[in-house]
Amino acid sequence: MCADVVKEPQPQPQPQSQPHSNSRMEEEDSSMKVEDDSMAEVRKFECEECGEILNSRSKFIQHSLSHRGVSVFCCQNCEQLFYCEKQLEQHISLHMKQDRDLTRHTNIHTQAKIHVCEECGRTFTHRSSFKQHMNIHTRAEQFSCDECDKVFYQKASLVKHKNIHAGIKYACDECDKHFNEKSHLKRHKNVHTRTLKGENWPRATERVKQKAHIGF
């Protein structure tokens, strides 16, 4: 079973300023506006193992754990980290659903041509991809293996199957196990990279740099 999602630290609440009169606040806002923009904080995280500097905590955790031979999986959309690839795939599907919903909505405005599968709701912008997908439901076209009696409804599935007859194997570099499909090997590697819940994360030397004031 996969461990919990890797949680990033919550930002510390900013101290609240004391109340001022309206005129005083307007003066301060006016005089400090340019300074605030030019002195924005840039947070960096330095690896204590090799000195490499990362620009986000999620990238730092990924990098630091690589020194231990441990992998975590990062969502490229929101940088959330996960202990195993299956959790990441489930998380990405949420992004994809949001993207599909947005695409359907924007197509109302743009009137872009889109192909929607009435069986499962998947959408396609290319008719060729849509037709290949629909064959899974209609089974109008079959792809048969010439070495056994198995039948497939997508050509890509037949190609994967033929690799089994050809003896193509994907070997794990951590142990002696071999797999017929690359996806099965990737899933297996989680056994080697999975970390225990509650493990102490590597500590970062956090650097806070200030952008130089730009005068005009």
| Confidence at 210, pLDDT banded by 50, 70, 90 | very low
pLDDT of residue 215: 43
Q: What's the mean pLDDT in 160-173? A: 82
The pTM of this model reads 0.32
For the stretch 7-38, pLDDT in tens is 443 333 444 444 444 544 444 454 444 344 44
Query: Which tops the pLDDT comparison, 45 or 35?
Result: 45
pLDDT of residue 195: 44
Query: Which tops the pLDDT comparison, 171 or 30?
Result: 171
> Would the pLDDT of 40 be above 60?
no
Q: What is the DSSP string of 6-21?
A: BPPPPPPPPPPPPP--
Residues 52, 66: Cα–Cα separation, whole Å: 13
pLDDT of residue 198: 39
Where exactly are the structural domains of the chain? 1-10+26-111
Residue 45's DSSP bridge partners are 54, 206
Residues 64, 68: Cα–Cα separation, whole Å: 8
In the predicted model, what is the mean pLDDT of the chain?
70
Helix, strand, or coil (residue 173)? coil
Question: Which of 126, 153, 152 minimizes the C-alpha distance to 138?
Answer: 153
Q: What is the DSSP string of 26-80?
A: HHHHHHHHHHHHHT-EEEEEE-TTT--EESSHHHHHHHHHHTTT---EE-TTT--
pLDDT of residue 177: 82
Find out whether 205 and 52 touch, Cβ atoms under 8 Å.
no
Q: What's the mean pLDDT in 130-151? A: 87
Between 123-127, 128-132, 158-162, the lowest mean confidence (pLDDT) is in 123-127
pLDDT of residue 113: 63
| Confidence at 42, pLDDT banded by 50, 70, 90 | low
| Confidence at 5, pLDDT banded by 50, 70, 90 | low
- Percent of the chain surpassing pLDDT 90: 0
Query: Tokens 């690799």 belong to which residue?
Result: 163
